[in-house]
Chains A and B, each alone.
Chain A
Amino acid sequence: MAYIAGVGNTRYGKVEGSSTLSLASEAAHLAMADAGLGVKDIDGVLTGYSTTLPHIMLATVIAERMGIRPVYAHAMQAGGATGVAMVMLAKLLVDSGQCRAVLALAGENRASGQSRDQSIQTLAQAGHSDFEVPYGATIPAYYGLLAARYMHQFGVTGADLAELAVLMRRHAGTHPDAHLRTPVTLDDVMASKPIALPLRLLDCCPVSDGGVAVVVTREPTGAARVRIRGAGQAHLHQHISCMRDWADCGAAQAAGRAFAEAGMTTKDVDYLAVYDSFTITLAMLLEETGFAPRGGAGAMARDGRFGVAGDLPLNTHGGLLSFGHCGVGGGLAHLVEAQRQLAGKAGARQVKKATTAFIHGDGGVMSSHVSMLLERM
């Protein structure tokens, strides 16, 4: 069995004077303290990539800085899905007996460590360098193409998508560490400046600094008893021009594998943590994984189903759209919030019933999918 024994995060936003290593290690110390463990207890270290620190051996750089000498360590790259993918690998490592306690951590000073143009250009490289990037494509442009087609095919409107942005901002307003906390209205979202139409500024997540860490253990540590019941992945394409079926980007396949391992169905889930780099990302993933009918995610948000008091609370920390996006740590923050909800440690954001959680990370342009199911013991 694998437990998420401890979690930690720094504040998100512009953290002047921070670095990949300062943010990741600050979050790691918080997560280890939450788990009741010290550096000597950690025998596995997993991290992701950092665009502001593209070191060739980031995991051992971080391990050395923290004074950890792991028996297993490396960095991983699955875009925005990296966070959940690291925790899935941590589960496999403790399940197989390779490790007793794996630290999965990420940090990046993506907002303060580079210019806006640098950030946009670096991220656009998720697109094909020969057959997409030369057209002046950006990450919002790839998702703009997804949004236009998805709206056309499934009858989703701009107002439907805007509901999700409003909801994420409302949730972020209750989290002291969130990047964007000022409430926004439906009109604010629809009137915000065009970025890659049909996507507007408030359909897009911000670029943030931040650090997040999770400790995965083989045995419960006396702290939170939240276990991983199942996990699964799917990777059907990398580039949007090679994505064939807008109704099947791989999310349902990843979720299906996680549900099969867990022996659960969507009806057994009472908390949702779903990747939301853009409003369209969140709508597509909720609908493809079966938590909302096709074209129905916005209406469910409008009806209060995804709120803290709803029957399917969703991203109560504010998601990437408002808690913030610092790269790998952005996707890992969803899992941190899910663990806190299941552990009963979400403070003012605590939902009434949280026994099981579904987590989904998406990397690239709906390219890499990792799903996970958590359960409070």
Chain B
Amino acid sequence: MSATPTTFPAGDDIARAWWNGVADGRIGYQVCADCGAVQFYPRSHCTACGSARCETRASKGAGAIFSITVVHRPPSEALRAHAPYAIALVDLDEGFRMMAHADPGCAIGDRVTAAFIPFGDRVVPRFARA
């Protein structure tokens, strides 16, 4: 554990596909073809009904800030240049919540839309006031 890298490669094909979507400016989420439940993060089965028929859709990238923190002490030397940066929980209009970056000036309840910026070893979604 002592050689923990700063960031992690996507753990499996589902996660890799999601991050590849982000690199193309797309935030994917899942809708169960059997029960209609919306879920995030993406996985192989619906957590509401157990169905394996989870369809991936692209979000419009609009939502509201549920919570936000401004990180002044990053986890590694590699991310120090980015600090301070804001991490938020965002409630997307399609009915799912995700973690993402946000404009540090955002506040809880703000309407936001997604942009895509380089951070660490990848491009990440970053939300700013709509």
Binding site for B on A (CB under 8 A): 51-52, 54, 114, 117-118, 120-122, 124-125, 128-138, 140-141, 144-149, 152, 193-199, 240-241
User: With A121-B75, A149-B67 as given contacts, are A136 and B82 in contact (CB-CB < 8 Å)?
Assistant: yes
Q: Is A196 touching B1 in the complex (CB atoms < 8 A)?
A: no
- Main SS of chain B's interface residues? mixed
Binding site for A on B (CB under 8 A): 1-2, 4, 6-8, 10-11, 15, 18-19, 40-41, 66-77, 79, 82, 84-85, 87-89, 97-101, 108, 119-122, 124
Q: Which residues of B contact A152 (CB under 8 A)?
A: 67, 108
Q: Is B8 touching A149 in the complex (CB atoms < 8 A)?
A: no
Q: Is A51 touching B1 in the complex (CB atoms < 8 A)?
A: yes
Q: Which residues of A contact B108 (CB under 8 A)?
A: 148-149, 152
Q: Is A241 touching B67 in the complex (CB atoms < 8 A)?
A: no
The 8 nearest A-B residue pairs measured at CB: A144-B69, A149-B67, A130-B15, A197-B70, A194-B72, A131-B41, A145-B67, A241-B99
Instruction: Give the distance in Å from the alpha carbon of A240 to the alpha carbon of B89 in the complex.
Output: 9
Q: Which residues of B contact A144 (CB under 8 A)?
A: 69-71, 87
Q: Is B69 touching A148 in the complex (CB atoms < 8 A)?
A: yes
Q: Which residue of B lies closest to A135 (CB)?
A: B87
Q: A120-B73, A138-B73 are in contact. List 4 more A-B contacts (CB 8 A).
A: A121-B4, A135-B87, A137-B99, A145-B89
Instruction: Give the distance in Å from the alpha carbon of A131 to the alpha carbon of B17 in the complex.
Output: 12
Q: Which residue of B lies closest to A50 (CB)?
A: B1
Q: Is B79 touching A136 in the complex (CB atoms < 8 A)?
A: yes
Q: Is B71 touching A121 in the complex (CB atoms < 8 A)?
A: no
Instruction: Name 21 interchain pairs, CB-CB below 8 A, sorted by A.
Output: A117-B77, A118-B2, A122-B1, A124-B75, A128-B41, A130-B11, A130-B41, A131-B98, A134-B7, A134-B19, A134-B124, A135-B119, A137-B75, A140-B73, A141-B71, A148-B69, A194-B72, A195-B71, A196-B69, A241-B41, A241-B89
State the Cβ distance, B23 to closest chain A Cβ, in Å: 12
Instruction: Give the distance in Å from the alpha carbon of A140 to the alpha carbon of B72 in the complex.
Output: 10
User: With A130-B11, A145-B67 as given contacts, are A120 and B75 in contact (CB-CB < 8 Å)?
Assistant: yes
Instruction: Give the distance in Å from the alpha carbon of A196 to the alpha carbon of B104 in the complex.
Output: 12
Q: Is A131 touching B1 in the complex (CB atoms < 8 A)?
A: no
Q: Which residue of B lies closest to A140 (CB)?
A: B73
Instruction: Give the distance in Å from the alpha carbon of A219 to the alpha carbon of B35 in the complex.
Output: 53
Instruction: Give the distance in Å from the alpha carbon of A149 to the alpha carbon of B99 in the complex.
Output: 14
Q: Is B73 touching A135 in the complex (CB atoms < 8 A)?
A: no
Q: Which residues of B contact A147 (CB under 8 A)?
A: 69
Q: Which residues of B contact A51 (CB under 8 A)?
A: 1
Instruction: Give the distance in Å from the alpha carbon of A52 to the alpha carbon of B3 in the complex.
Output: 11
Q: Which residue of B lies closest to A139 (CB)?
A: B75
Q: Is A136 touching B67 in the complex (CB atoms < 8 A)?
A: no
State the Cβ distance, A123 to closest chain B Cβ, in Å: 9
Q: Is A130 touching B10 in the complex (CB atoms < 8 A)?
A: yes
Q: Which residues of B contact A240 (CB under 8 A)?
A: 89, 99
User: With A131-B15, A196-B72 as given contacts, are A241 and B98 in contact (CB-CB < 8 Å)?
Assistant: yes
